Chain A
Amino acid sequence: MQLRCQQDQLHRGLSAVSRAVPARTVLPITGHVLLEAEGGHVKLSATDAETIAITYTIDAAVAQPGSITLPSRLLSDFVATLPREEITITLAERSRQASLSCARNDASIGGMDPDEFPPIPPVQGTGAVQVEPERLRTALEHVVFAAATDDSRPVLTGVHFAVGPESIRLATADGFRLAVYTLELAQSGLERDVIVPARALAELARLLPEAAQPVTMTVNTAQTQVLFDLGHATLIANLIQGTFPNYQQLIPASSTMRSEVAVGEFKQAVRLASIFARDGSGIVRLIASPGTGGQPGKLMVTARADEVGNNEAVIDALVAGDEARIAFNSRYLIEVLNVLTTDRVAIETTSPSSPGVVRPVGDDRYVHVVMPMFVEW
């Protein structure tokens, strides 16, 4: 194998695929990146051999085709530190020792037999759906953060994709909150419900800004794998098997109070309160009062810390309905406010112990349900 490629391209490719490499490996080869040189390209692949595989193809002048696996961490760190010049990678016939040279730096890195690299199976399905990368990234950002991070209910560690003829509804729930985003499609060649690991989608979201063409999503016939094809890069994930909870019934159909506020102001108030809430389970209390006699309504955001002090901020709000009080974990509020792209947001509540609903004003694609904290008022 012999090839020449650009340092910045190889660096970008390695950073993309190395995200699939597990932090700790039982199988040494999963700590490696597979390089396959052919035609005018080098294809880089990495996988944890469990849930995710990422490939990334870069341009290269291939003098002699071939393949090798090299330790991901060492190779990435080395390439990242090289100057932005041309890199030559050479591998002698039947050798496992690759030489890399760039400018006046030379290195020799020991690799492993590419045939031992875990096979990344082709994902072939009966239908596919195409999505604009930027719109997919926005959708993912709205839901991925609300997926569960502990494994007690594996289905909750994934994003539920309900792919219909005209939309994909993405949903996550971690037991305390629920995020649902409806992504409209021009057309869909796929109608299917699948659960994709949130971790894989977080990696996909990182790759999307580079994508120049629509992303193709394919589910294999056995419904065990999903492929996201970005053109220069692909991400394959094993689907999570199981039944996602019927979340529609968890979205309250009505409320007794609706409070509309500016996202920026609200986020600032919650951030300030969260500093005080740090010692006390992160509790932020909201008290909404409707306006009276021409006065605007207001939303009070408060927090207190045992023995230290308290914080109180009042922001203008359009409050419809009754005066209401409800307490939330500040982290949950900040995380949802961080992903909103609208200027204003509405909070809807019914009682201090029933779910609160967060909706971006003027954007009905998204709804977020967050359970309150039960506190003594």
Chain B
Amino acid sequence: MCANRLTTGAAPRFPTRIAHCDLDTFFVAVERLRDPQLVGKPVLVGGRGPRSVVASASYEARAFGCHSAQPMAQALRACPEATVVPPDFTRYRAASEAFHALLRDASPAVESVGLDEAFADLTGLGADGMGARATAEAIRARVRAELGLAVSIGIAGGRTTAKVTSDRAKPDGLLDVPAGGDAAFLAPLPLRELPLAGPRLVERLALAGVRTIGQVAVLDAGWLVRQFGAAGHALSERARGIDATPVRGVPRAPVSVSREVTFGEDVRDPVLLDRVLEGHAERIGADLRRAGRRARTVMLKVRWLDFTTVTRSHTLARPAQSTAQLAAVGRALRAELVAREGERPVRLIGLAATNLVDEALQLRLEERATPRDERLDRALDAIRERYGGAAVRRGARSRGRG
């Protein structure tokens, strides 16, 4: 049983109860709070440019076949009367933080898996230790009352089943799979509902006549491993409702931080491209400083007009965190790329900090304090934290360079 937690001494062991909490049409719901006139109408959140995609679609729009990640133009052909709202991530992030804070009030271990979804460990909650369902109901009531949002919650014995369950609970529902009933609950469901089952895997198993999760559960695990490697092993376990992956209360240290932008129109102006890279560096730097990490490697990603994508990376002798350093490496990598391929029209440009290490910095003999550009960064971060992202800008970025 509870392989994922430490139980102390003779304390009774309660069945593991994992909740997957997923906000319904999150971006749309936040926009409707801002503009109640959008309620009940088909709404598409996303840009209007020729390359924009749908970030979120209301249930009314979904009825017309719209869905997220669909090109906006295509969604509008399917549902011409839909209202298109540009995304406002500052607002979404604020709502997301409030949502997560509320979950943390209810459960000792909450693991965020996105702006609008999180796992919460509800094992052993309540006076009798069996209060998972009551806790989930309380979460739903508070999210509705305090944030004005609908959250669907699925409760099961493991993360995978909980995720499948919350999908089934939508919209605005709560579904609680009885303890020990994960496998039975999953059995009749089509295989594609299992998060592990990608389209190719589903297709290959369909050829063998396997269509439901229950059919996978009774397949020989050894055969699955031979067919699909390690994924086959996981698939077999998940299909049988076995998933002891714990809910991580402490966030994982990030492995990489990146920013990229796709231009509405192709860009070949070197000054503008460098400016965009500096903007990326500014945001990546702030993220690194917030997470207490430094980057060993900086990677530039460029997609040309013909969709070919190239990446160039540079590994630093001393891991960097400062905006100035990240930007300098980004510009140098671009210059190197231009020297090789010429100044070509760019469709997308991105910068990534990878190979992250703990922020601790080995000081040098001839330097007695934190380097100057790092102190500047921290001062700017503090101002932005308090007054917002646009409160201060670096001279080079507001005036243009040269």
Contact = CB atoms under 8 A, between A and B. Distances in A.
Interface of A: 150, 173, 175-178, 245, 250, 280-281, 283, 306-307, 327, 329, 353-355, 369, 371-376
A216 to B, nearest CB: 33
Interface string B267-295: 00000000000000000000000001000
B245 to A, nearest CB: 14
Given A281-B357, A353-B369, A307 B253 contact: yes
Given A280-B357, A307-B252, A250 B365 contact: yes
Given A355-B365, A371-B362, 20 more contacts: A175-B364, A175-B366, A176-B362, A176-B364, A178-B365, A281-B358, A281-B360, A306-B358, A307-B250, A307-B253, A329-B362, A353-B363, A353-B370, A371-B363, A371-B364, A373-B361, A373-B362, A375-B359, A375-B360, A376-B292
A176 B362 CA distance: 8
Chain A to chain B: the 9 pairs with minimum beta-carbon distance, closest first = A280-B358, A375-B360, A371-B363, A374-B361, A373-B360, A281-B358, A283-B360, A306-B253, A373-B362
A307 B251 CA distance: 9
Nearest to A178: B365
B253 A371 contact: no
Contact of B365 (A150, A369, A374): A369
Interface residues on B, range: 10 to 19
A371 B365 contact: yes
Contacts of A173: 365
Contacts of B359: 375-376
B200 interface: no
- Of A150, A355, A374, chain B has the most CB atoms within 10 Å of the CB of A374
Nearest to B251: A307
A374 B370 CA distance: 8
Nearest to B362: A373
Contacts of B386: none
Contacts of A373: 360-363
A280 B360 contact: yes
A358 to B, nearest CB: 14
Contacts of A281: 319, 357-358, 360, 362
A225 to B, nearest CB: 29
Nearest to A373: B360
Nearest to A355: B365
Contacts of A329: 362
Given A306-B253, A307-B252, A376-B292, A177 B358 contact: no
A245 B364 CA distance: 14
Contacts of B365: 173, 175-178, 250, 355, 369, 371
Nearest to B248: A307
B357 to A, nearest CB: 5
A374 B362 CA distance: 6
A168 B364 CA distance: 26
B340 interface: no
Contacts of B357: 280-281
Nearest to A350: B368
A229 B307 CA distance: 66
B246 to A, nearest CB: 12
B368 A250 contact: no
Contact of B368 (A175, A353, A369, A376): A353
B293 to A, nearest CB: 10
Nearest to B294: A281
B324 to A, nearest CB: 17
A312 B361 CA distance: 21
9 contacts: A175-B364, A250-B366, A281-B319, A281-B362, A306-B253, A329-B362, A374-B363, A374-B370, A375-B360
A306 B250 CA distance: 10
Contacts of A327: 360
Contacts of A306: 253, 358
A280 to B, nearest CB: 4
Interface string B308-351: 00000000010100000000000000000000000000000000
A3 B361 CA distance: 60
A249 B363 CA distance: 17
Contacts of A150: 317
- Of A150, A283, A371, chain B has the most CB atoms within 10 Å of the CB of A371
Contacts of B358: 280-281, 283, 306, 375
Contacts of B364: 175-176, 371
A371 to B, nearest CB: 4
A134 to B, nearest CB: 30
Nearest to A247: B365
B238 to A, nearest CB: 23
A273 B317 CA distance: 24
Interface string B166-193: 0000000000000000000000000000
B253 to A, nearest CB: 5
- Of B359, B361, B363, chain A has the most CB atoms within 10 Å of the CB of B363
A82 to B, nearest CB: 46
B354 to A, nearest CB: 16
Interface in B220-234: none
A327 B317 CA distance: 20
B272 to A, nearest CB: 34
B298 to A, nearest CB: 18
Contacts of B361: 373-374
A239 to B, nearest CB: 23
A353 B364 CA distance: 10
Interface string B43-75: 000000000000000000000000000000000
A36 to B, nearest CB: 44
Contacts of B370: 353, 374
A372 B369 CA distance: 11
A177 B363 CA distance: 10
Contacts of A245: 366
